[in-house]
């Protein structure tokens, strides 16, 4: 009973059935291309978060705090 059918998974890149086996160097992806696309996708997600935080403009937050303090003084 050594003739097991190869285990198959859906490629995270293109959802096609992919052989999950040491013979497939790109597992669980079907190909190098899908693997690189997925890595690039995660890299973009990683870079997008700090970019949005930089867009918060802390200067506006400081101005709002100043307004609150001056209203307490009056
Ligand atoms: Zn694929």
Q: Which of 3-12, 22-31, 43-52, 65-74 has the lowest mean pLDDT?
A: 43-52
- Residue 69: phi, psi to the nearest 5? -65, -45
Q: How far is the CA of 53 from the centre of ligand 1 (A)?
A: 33
Q: Provide the pLDDT for residue 46.
A: 65
Pairing of strands 8-10, 17-19: antiparallel
Q: How far is the CA of 41 from the centre of ligand 1 (A)?
A: 14
Burial class (CB within 10 angstroms; exposed 0-12, middle 13-18, buried 19+) of 4: exposed
Q: How far is the CA of 12 from the centre of ligand 1 (A)?
A: 7
Q: How far apart are CA 28 and CA 30, in angstroms?
A: 7
pLDDT in tens, 6-40: 899 999 999 999 999 999 999 999 999 999 988 88
Domains of the chain: 8-73 (3.30.50.10)
Query: CA-CA distances (angstroms) from residue 4 to 1, 8, 11, 17, 54?
Result: 7, 12, 21, 17, 53
């Amino acid at each position: 009973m050594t003739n097991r059918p190869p285990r198959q998974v859906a490629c995270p890149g293109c959802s096609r059935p992919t052989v999950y086996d040491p013979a497939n160097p790109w597992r669980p992806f079907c190909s190098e291309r899908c693997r690189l696309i997925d890595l690039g996708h995660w890299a973009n997600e990683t870079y997008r978060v700090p970019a949005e935080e930089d867009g918060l403009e802390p200067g506006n937050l400081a101005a709002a705090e100043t307004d609150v303090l001056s209203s307490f003084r009056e």
